[in-house]
Amino acid sequence: MPQVDVAEIGESTAPYDGDEGGGEEHEYEPGHRPWTVPPGVPDRGCDPDETWTGTLPPMGGMTVRVVRGTGWTLIWLGLLSLAFVAYQLWGTGLLTGVEQTAGSASLERRFGDLREEPLPALALSIDADGSVDESVLTPRNGPVISESAPAQGEALAVITFPTLRRGGSPMPTGDVELEDLLVGAERHVVWSGEDLRTLRKGPGHYLDTPLPGQPGNASIAGHRTTYGAPFNRLGELRPGDPIVVETTIGRHVYVVRDPRTVHDRVDDGQVGQTGGWFVVPPSATWVVGDLRGGWLTLTTCHPLFSSRQRLIVVAELVEGPNAGAVETAGGG
Amino acid sequence: MLKRLFRALPGPLPVRLLVAVVIVAALLVALVVVFEALGRFLDDGGVMG
């Protein structure tokens, strides 16, 4: 403990009101703050020329160990908590980023191998609010074009959300080529399977549901806050917003629907602020049940940072290789 | 404390270094497993059922 020469400290300008509390007090000359002697410390008097060591009363060995141990335990718990948060929010995202890059390359090879010709150009009319003008769509009629699914855990499709922009880039409006609509939009590789291991790589397709672009209710699950948080912004979707899913046979354009127009059992209290999603408990497996026509159901956790409920988005197929065919082929 | 633990490891310095690296790696793996399990309370992928 360093020795303190009282004479060098100087005089305190604090007024002495005679009520410092704790320990013994001594009378001093006016204007001087009295030294409060802690209990257990020998009284050395008030001589300012005398050096005061300022030592505390000695603590027992056990007390020191308990205090030190508690302190270090709390420090380590705090560091581990920070590490946990960092791992969940950023660490898992790094892992998913690597998988997404690999999946993107794998899909390019798959599409290149299985497509006999380049995809035809597709144009949409986008209103100023970002919704699709469906009145000008002329989907192809004819038989359903089917495709085979890859093995579980392999890259299946690419899902793009044109209204969810990356880096604040504006969404094109008016008559837009689909290719241009996808630039700057949130984009994720979708994997085959909805098991935990597959979902670490990105959104996963429910194996018991049809492939995107096929008749019925194609369903995809995705993380909302971890592993790249691919479905973090689903809550921003509104009725009329486009969602594009590209598979081997082409690009399928879905339009988000008000869930109350799709499912009878959805009431107003379950619908989100934007009107483009609704909330159900995890046990409500009917949301991924079959539907007549061509549909896309996206599921993720709700609320943020909790897996207590599910946020559901439902979208209808309006353009693409099978858009007209699914109406006549039916789904459920 | 860490120095004391390191000195308590058996063998010459290279062996102690190797053992220390293995122990740290095992602890990190265990930590990740615990983090993964806890993380499912925050976000279990949004799967129905």
Tens of pLDDT along A161-192?
A: 999 998 888 899 999 999 999 999 999 999 99
Tell me whether B2 touches chain A (CB under 8 Å): no
Query: ipTM score of the complex?
Result: 0.80
User: In angstroms, rounded to a whole number, what is the distance separating the alpha carbons of residues A202 and A131?
Assistant: 26
Q: CA triplet A277, A263, A266: central angle to 5 degrees? A: 60
Portion of chain A with pLDDT greater than 90, in percent: 70
Among candidate residues A238, A314, A244, A231, the one with its CA nearest the CA of residue A276: A238
CA distance A66 to A63: 5
**Averaged pLDDT, A285-306:** 95
Q: Which of B35, B43, B49 sits opposite A223 (nearest CB)?
A: B43
Q: How far is B34 from chain A (nearest CA, A)?
A: 9
Residue B6: predicted pLDDT: 87
Mean pLDDT along residues A76-102: 94
SS3 B29: helix
For A307, name the nearest residue in chain B, comparing CA atoms only.
Answer: B43
Query: Does A282 touch chain B if contact means CB atoms closer than 8 Å?
Result: yes
Would you state the pLDDT for residue A40?
75
Tokens matching residue A245: 């899913």
Mean pLDDT of the region A54-80: 85
What's the confidence (pLDDT) of residue A180?
A: 92
Please answer yes or no on whether B41 and A307 come within 8 Å at the CB atom: yes
In terms of pLDDT, which residue wins out, B37 or A15?
A: B37
| d(C-alpha B31, C-alpha B26), whole Å | 9
Mutation site for B-interface testing, chosen from A223, A227, A288 by largest number of B Cβ within 10 Å? A223
pLDDT of residue A23: 46
Instruction: Please give the pLDDT value at position A32.
Output: 54
Decide which of A29 and A205 is more confident: A205
Ranking A30-34, A135-139, A267-271, A322-326 by mean pLDDT, the lowest is A30-34
Measured torsion, CA atoms of residues A271, A288, A190, A244, in degrees rounded to the nearest 10: -60
Q: Is the peptide bond before A215 cis (omega within 30 degrees of 0)?
A: no
Instruction: Identify the residue whose tokens are 């409920």.
Output: A309
Residue-wise pLDDT tens digits, A215-238? 999 999 999 999 999 999 999 999
- Please report the pLDDT score of residue B14 as a whole number: 93
Burial of B20 from C-beta contacts in 10 A (0-12 / 13-18 / 19+): middle
State phi, psi for A199 to the nearest 5 degrees: -65, -20
Q: Do A225 and B43 touch (CB under 8 A)?
A: yes
Q: Which residue of B has its CA nearest to A230?
A: B45
The pLDDT value given to residue A312: 98
pLDDT at A197 over 90: yes
Largest CA distance in chain B: 55
Would you tell me the crossing angle of helices A61-86 and B13-42 to the nearest 10 degrees? Answer: 60
For position A54, what pLDDT does the model report?
62
- For chain A, what is the mean pLDDT? 86
Across the range A288-295, mean pLDDT stands at 95
On the question of pLDDT at A282 being above 90, the answer is yes
Candidates A84, A224, A305; nearest CB to B46: A224
In chain A, residues with a C-beta closer than 8 Å to the C-beta of B42 are 88, 225-226, 305-307
pLDDT over threshold 70, residue A5: no
B3: left (phi over 0), alpha (psi -120 to 50) or beta: alpha
Q: Which of A57-61, A85-89, A124-128 has the lowest mean pLDDT?
A: A57-61
Nearest CA to CA, how far is A51 from chain B (Å)?
36
> B44: distance to nearest CA of chain A, Å?
6
Q: Give the predicted TM-score (pTM) of the model.
A: 0.79
Percent of chain A with pLDDT over 70: 81
SS (H, E, C) chain A: CCCECHHHHCCCCCCCCCCCCCCECCCCCCCCCCCCECCCCCCCCCCCCCCECCCCCCCCHHHHHHHHHHHHHHHHHHHHHHHHHHHHHHHHHHHHHHHHHHHHHHHHHHHHHHCCCCCCCCEEEECCCCCECHHHCCCCCCCCCCCCCCCCCCEEEEEEEEEEECCCCCCCCEEEEHHHHHCCEEEEEEEECCCHHHHCCCCEECCCCCCCCCCEEEEEECCCCCCCCCCCCHHHCCCCCEEEEEECCEEEEEEECCHHHCCCCCCHHHECCCCCCEEECCCCHHHHCCCCCEEEEEEEEECCCCCCEEEEEEEEEEECCCCCHHHHHCCC
Residue A121's CB: how many other CB atoms inside 10 A?
8
